[in-house]
Structure 1
Amino acid sequence: MLVLAVDTATPAVTAGVVSLDGAAPRPLSSRITVNARAHAEVLTPHILDCLAEAGHVPADLDAVVVGCGPGPFTGLRVGMATAAAFGDALGVPVHGVCSLDAIAADAAAIDGRDLLVVTDARRREVYWARYSGGTRVAGPEVAKPADLEPQPSVIVAGSAPHAELFDLPVVAVQTPSPAGLVSVAAPAIVGGVVPEPLVPLYLRRPDAVEMADRRR
């Protein structure tokens, strides 16, 4: 099976084409640009470049996987809208996954110990989730780093400046990879499960509000 994976839940604009044939997901091509203001400009070109590098066209895709956050409102909706558009145009299922789960999947391949994943939530806060044995056991939630206890986790992954705020060894996985995204959705894809409607994990109100709301 050929799967397109995209994520815009972090400052990284991520796209990739992944082969999923019963074994572990095998990345065929990927493009990652770290620029929180470039999601809308570079995501679709990244997707087309990945397909061309892998020697495929959009019609070859069997499924799409997209990170649903948590993440900032503006960036997150770019990835989800693009994934939904590709799925609708091609008539293939679109599977939404927690972006923190994808980071955890990549980190688990390096170090399988109990893990804390943190990403930048802005406003001096982090999005976070905990994992044990490869399974999410808490989160995702948003909090100030000072209010988030590192324990019982024994390692941390995610945004480097924020991971360093915790007194834990850091696993060098900062953003979701295409293979990590697909690995989270793999059981559903291989099993032919009809995906649920995409639901973004904002966890709070968007930073951008209507002028009428600002006056209240």
Structure 2
Amino acid sequence: MKILALDCATGACSTAVTADGTVLARRDVAMARGQSEVLVPMVLATLEEAGLGFGDLDRLAVTVGPGSFTGLRIGLATARAMALAAGRPLIGVTTFEAFAHAVPAGRRDGRTVLVAVESRRAELFVQGFAPDLAPMEAPQVAPPGQVRLPEGPLLVAGDGAERMAGALAAHPDARIAAQAAPDAAVVARIAATREPGGGMPGPLYLRAPDVTLPGGTRP
């Protein structure tokens, strides 16, 4: 199965092409803004390196959030347009899942994985995963000191993991595995295990955007 995956949900842009689990090509660029200018050229360069065109793909995949409001909109819009043009299904993967599945099995070592995603505000976006990476609960939106911590051995992952350090001081067995941004190759790996749905995936924002339109309405 050949998959094109892309991510710009947090502080970077990432693209990858995989074939039956093997990474054929990958691009990663750290950036807080300007994704709209670089994402499409990155996709085209990744496909060229992989020696594939859109018609060779079986499906596309994209992170749906939570994360940066602007980055999510750009990533989803780009992925939807490409999927429609290629006539291929598009699989949505949450930012939580992308971070959790990026932690090597040996590092998890039977631990619960708590993924903390940066909101660029006082709160973090947080979700817990069992050692087998099954989601344990609905996502939380809370300041680090108010996050509900699972009992037992714990590993905190994600780009917001280091902000959890103070809250973990009293936890008897917690480790931090901070990650800069989701990896599109991991997004592709997750997407390969899922059946396409009936429509295009939508964004997972968890809180209202910080921008408003004229008249005070939110997009």
Q: Distance in 2 between matches of 1:129 and 1:72?
A: 17
Q: Does 1:83 align with 2:69?
A: no
Question: What 5-or-longer segments of structure 1 have no aligned partner?
Answer: none
Which of 57, 63, 70 is matched with 2:59 structurally?
63
Q: Which digits, 9 at most, give the CA deviation of each residue in 1:78-97, with x for residues without a partner?
A: 00000001100000000111
When residues 150 and 195 of structure 1 are mapped into structure 2, their CA distance, relative to the original with a 3 A threshold, is: same
Q: Helix, strand or coil for the counterpart of 2:66?
A: coil
1:134-213 maps to which residues of 2 (within 5 A)? Answer: 134-152=133-151, 154-159=154-159, 161-167=162-168, 168-189=174-195, 193-213=196-216
Equivalent pairs counted in the alignment come to 207
Q: CA deviation at 1:171?
A: 2.2
Give the RMSD, CA atoms, in angstroms. 1.9
In structure 1, the residue corresponding to 2:97 is in which secondary structure?
helix
Question: What is the TM-score normalised by the length of structure 1?
Answer: 0.87
Kept in 2, the 8 Å contact 1:27–1:178? The answer is: no
Task: Tell me the CA shift for residue 106 of structure 1.
Answer: 1.2
TM-score by length of 2: 0.86
C-alpha displacement of 1:211: 3.2
- What CA deviation, in whole Å up to 9, does each residue of 1:93-124 have, x standing for no partner? 00111121011111143423211111111122
Structure 2 SS opposite 1:134: coil
Equivalent residues of 2:15, 2:185 under 8 A apart: no
Overall identity of the aligned pairs, in %: 35
**What is the rounded CA distance, in whole Å, between the counterparts of 1:166 and 1:48 in structure 2?**
43
* 1:122 match: 120
Within 5 A, what are the aligned runs for 1:74-113? 74-112=70-108, 113=111
Runs of 4+ aligned structure 1 residues displaced above 3 Å come to 163-166, 193-196
- Secondary structure (helix, strand or coil) at the match of 1:124 reads coil
Q: CA deviation at 1:206?
A: 0.8
1:9 aligns with 2:5: no
- Partners of 2:63 and 2:166 lie apart in 1 by 25
SS in 1 for 2:150: coil
Q: Give secondary structure in 2 for the equivalent of 1:136.
A: coil
Distance 2:200 2:92 in 1: 8
User: Using the alignment, how far apart are the partners of 1:6 and 1:195 within structure 2?
Assistant: 20
